[in-house]
Structure 1
Amino acid sequence: MTTSPADEPSGAAMTDEEYGALRASAALWAGASVLITDQHGKVLVQRVGYRPFRLLPGGAVDAGESPAHAAARELQEELGVTATPTRGLAVDWVSTTGMRVPAVMKFPGEILHVYDGGVWDDEQIAAITPAEGEIEAVEFVEPADLPGLLSPGDARRALSALRARVDCAGPVLLEDGVPLAPGVLDRAGILRTARTRHHEPFHPEPAPESLPVRQSWGWLFAPDGRVLVLLEPGTGAACLPGGAPEPSDRGDAATTLAREAREEAAATLADTLYLGHLTDPAEPCVRVRYAAALTRLGPVPSDPATGRTYIRVLATPEQVLQLFDWGPEAAAQLTAVHTARTRLGLPRAAQQAVTELAGPTSW
């Protein structure tokens, strides 16, 4: 019996033994890892004694084993947790030059599957039992800290997989941790720098008149229920439209928001609704939050206050929260956001990829 591989020239034929030997000579390693976050967007990493870098849970795929089964097995062996990841986030081709290993290993390249381990609550985290003698510690770290804790290739892969999870775009194909078809979150470098941190208490009632307003931000809704987010090229920092009051605003926080949205994003608003405010224990001030409907976006502007030209994107409110570090208070603000969305007569946004708004748009 002979076999004619699809990539063989016309007329070429090989025995099964020859074809098997040819394919074996091109064999690659296979691996699987699992991306897990806590409820505040921090990533689970493991400290091990045999590597100078932290690792995501995972390891080599055994002979005859599927990558998904390997991921589940590694979770059990390393963390003492029974779970079966079913959703892939990324498939990475790790080249012979992309992984620095001793030459004696004769590393042939590797196909590494990254699975979504989900968002773990306090009970799931408490159930972790690190493998004695292998896992020295389990930590949850900020995404921006991954490049300083993981090897360069592992950090690129983890951040690419995390962006794919935020983007809800399905598994991404990587080469040495870099997407073959980068999305807007990859191009902006989102999550590679520290997320904006506001752990202050959120209050849905009116702000005390005795405290000055330091900041006015807005959840600005498109008709499909998604909101406008601004991404800063170069740093990957995300922000909601808004900013600090100026004298021309005459002490009106809604006017501040409208002005800032116009300057930063060329956005025109309607039906502005007050959501609540954050209080800062370290400073006697408030940071107010509004919701409003978007009616128009002009050409992408340059912010006169900072000189920045932001990337404008639409994202679901749930995606937005993954771009910030707002701690336990984020849930209360999200509830207020959806209440305002309902009052504006807008639908709950369907799960979908983040969309860039590069040009003028009217609704």
Structure 2
Amino acid sequence: MPLDADTPLNSLGFAKPPADTRVVVAMSGGVDSSVVAAELASQGYDVVGVTLQLYDHGAALAKKGACCAGIDIHDARRVAEEMGFPHYVLDYENIFKETVIDEFADSYLAGATPVPCIRCNERVKFKDLLQTAKDLDADCMATGHYIQRKIGDRGPELHAGADPRRDQSYFLFSTTPEQLDYLRFPLGHLASKEDTRALAKKHGLVVADKPDSQDICFVPDGNYASVIEKLRPGAGEPGEIVHMDGRVLAQHDGVIHYTIGQRRGLGIGGLSVPLYVVRLDPDARQVVVGPKEALSTRIVPVREINWLGDEPFEARAEWPLSVKVRSTRPPREAILRPTGPTTAEVELFTPEEGVSPGQACVFYDTDSTRIYGGGWIWRG
């Protein structure tokens, strides 16, 4: 619909009344997406709630800490009933297994430390679900993510959430410009999670005090290794724990039980210097350990880059940015050097410890909250 200069934009950015604006809300059953749906419905928008059934195996159904469990589907449906808008459950189990779970298992087997929530956003929620929203003739799709979409000189920009404790930009770096044009993030400007819960209570939602999800939805007890062994029988083959200098220190019961930077649970006590996992070699079935300083990394190779800058990615030889190499760490100053259309070398001003293949490297503006995309760390 063309914009009319005399028609004010509604809160979702469309030049028409909320009642004439259809928005699909991706509802996980948690408080965040429930508040988004309730707020938009109360503002008079034509809301359609959609919940994805991604994983429905045994323990996951009864585990409250898992975002896609059966109880969450029930909670999403109750919120829709309370607020008076339609709600649909879509079975995406096969898509989710093929595009997220299988890669998660294979990445672990290859000695990487994957982040399946990013792949789920990229390959399921912001791809298949977004297309479903368009098929429903929705003007946009809204989610409960803590991230901001702002309109800049050249169109929509991705910005970090206003609350740095809740910011989810690390998990959404692969959002493309086309997706960003269609997506809305109504919670991104809120100062704290307490503000979200206050809105939930204002609407009388049954999920107002529901705990935040903590675990990956298909690993409800946090035991990655057991899930991988079920998906890939024989994955837990024993091998050696080897020092960087070549000494064999102990035996292990499977590379999948270890991650880069791990110190505890190695079974090699009694040494004068604490040792950490510095590398995993699944082909040789070796866990390589060394002193803490061996974890320090300055140069980080990155691939599969999604670029959200105004200029083309390869327009410059160097981009001065800040980067995050783990979701729990603050952005650090760095230089990004393109080496191809979707590959780059990141040089960190200050070395980081425990940089692991399979994790994301996300790019931030050094002077604002803007996100310039990111990519995946690999061995090089």
Does the TM-score normalized on the shorter chain lie above 0.5?
no
Please identify the structure whose Cα radius of gyration is greater.
1
Q: When the two structures are superposed, what TM-score results if normalisation uses the length of structure 1?
A: 0.29
